[in-house]
Amino acid sequence: MSVLNILFVGSDEVARSIAKKSDSRDVDNYVYKDLKEDGLFSTISILRPNNYPDKPKPFFTSLTVSDYGIIEVNKVDGSFGEAIVSMSSAGMKNGLVIINPSEGEWVDDSQVKTLLQQAGLSNWEFIENDGVVIREKLIGVLNQIKPNDEDGFVVAVDQAFTVKGVGLVAIGHVQSGKVNKHDELILAGSEGNAIARSLQVMDLDVEVANIGDRVGLAMRTAGPFREDLLGKGSILADSNERFVVESTSTFELNKAAFQKNELNAGDVVHLCSDLQFVVGRIRDISDYIQIDWDFPIVLNKSSQRNPLIVQLEANPRIMGSAKFK
């Protein structure tokens, strides 16, 4: 059962034409299940950040758990530029562009194509604004996803809470590998461990959750497990070898296209990686950037997306991607 997680920047109307709306918080989720001949199904899962560009955090965090992008272009402006540059910095090389001008606006296809190429998204394709056509294209992409045979797992946690009669529950995205029922769970930054008592994907009880799945994990903890550390941006894995925890980091910045601003010592930035959005202050800049984080970050060694450096006061807010030393 394959899953294609898609970051969609555009209108609710277009998203609804592709898939059924299933959840709405700071990020709207739309789901389409494609039934296969063997009775199993593959899933298109669209993540649409609410109130972007006014609220950037849901956009950047959704980007860290997405495999594919779709942008609905109503007009060519700074928000469009920031979106494509951010996707390029994250390493999202494939996606779709829907030209759908706002009333009174005109969008030049050739200008959009040139900007995509300059941003590093030359593989992105233009497609007509037809939900059925878009969905069929996405099913084709789904069918190209190879079966997952990777050992171990990493789960980026979106939320955690306690349910009466069930206990501690974490909901997150399987970023690599696959999680089995009764697997041991290690929480980055915490001692002790937990056991996956049960798993749910798409509100169904399952024995295994694969890469790309949004999974609910009912957990039984053991030892000095820090439940207070379990929440949005925390990492669960099968082994401590899957991640690195850092309070201070050194990295090289791969600067984003169109970004003219320079970082300086004392600047405040955010790391965006595997649903984390952590603030830090730059201590020193030479050949590399040294930074102190307000809260320890977790670097997932098998992350599918590049870690992003965001400065909320900059324009565009995406500074680029980080290569940690």
Reported as a single tens digit per residue, the pLDDT across 184-241 is 999 999 999 999 999 999 889 999 999 999 999 999 998 899 999 999 999 999 999 9
Helix axes 78-90 and 109-119, enclosed angle (nearest 10): 40
What is the rounded distance in angstroms from the CA atom of residue 210 to the CA atom of residue 174?
A: 7
39 Cβ contact partners less than 8 Å away, ≥ 6 residues apart: none
pTM higher than the cut 0.75: yes
22/106 same-domain check: yes
- Whether 89 shows a pLDDT value over 90: the answer reads yes
**pLDDT at residue 183, rounded to an integer:** 97
Q: Which residues contact 210 (CB under 8 A, 6 or more apart)?
A: 1, 2, 3, 148, 174, 178
Residue 185 domain-assigned (yes or no)? yes
- Mean pLDDT confidence for 88-95: 97
| In-domain check, residue 224 | yes
Count of structural domains within the chain: 3
**Is the preceding peptide bond at 53 cis, omega within 30 degrees of 0?**
yes
Last residue of a domain, one of 86, 120, 143: 143
Smallest CA-to-CA distance from 158 within 171, 167, 141 is with 171
Residue-wise DSSP of 161-199: EEETTTEEEEEEEEEEEEEETT-EEEETT-BSEEEEEEE
Find tokens 């980091």 and name the residue: 249
- Of 84, 120, 117, 116, the C-alpha closest to 9 is 84
What token pair was written down for 104? 């009174």
Domain-embedded: residue 148: no
pLDDT at 148 over 80: no
pLDDT band at 40 (very low <50, low <70, confident <90, very high): confident
Residue 19 sits in the same domain as residue 121: yes
Contact 270, 280 (CB under 8 A): yes
Q: What is the pLDDT of residue 151?
A: 84
Listed residues 120, 143, 166: the one ending a domain: 143
Tell me the Ramachandran region of residue 302: left when phi exceeds 0, alpha when psi lies from -120 to 50, beta otherwise. alpha
At 317, which CATH number? 2.40.30.10
Backbone angles phi, psi at 208, to 5 degrees: -145, 145
Q: Which helix (H) or strand (E) holds 102?
A: none
Q: Is the pLDDT of residue 304 over 90?
A: no
- Say if CB 143 and CB 136 are below 8 A apart: no
**For position 2, what pLDDT does the model report?**
87
Pairing between strand 125-126 and 95-99? parallel
What is the Cβ-side half-sphere exposure of residue 49, based on CA atoms within 13 angstroms? 23
* pLDDT > 90? residue 25: no
Same-domain status, 291 and 192: no
Residues 134 and 9 in one domain: yes
CA separation for the pair 319, 245 (Å, rounded) = 22
- For residue 218, give its domain range: 153-238
Task: Give the pLDDT band of residue 39 (cuts 50, 70, 90).
Answer: low
**DSSP three-state, residue 106:** coil
Residues 55 and 75 in one domain: yes
Same-domain pairing of 195 and 269: no
User: DSSP letter at 109?
Assistant: H
Q: What type of residue is 33?
A: K
pLDDT at residue 37 in the model: 67
Q: What percent of the chain has pLDDT over 90?
A: 90
Query: What is the average pLDDT value for the chain, to the nearest integer?
Result: 95
In the chain, alpha helices (H): 12-18, 56-63, 78-90, 109-119, 131-143
Mean pLDDT of 290-314: 96
Same domain, 26 and 78: yes
Measured between its terminal Cα atoms, the distance across the chain in Å is: 36
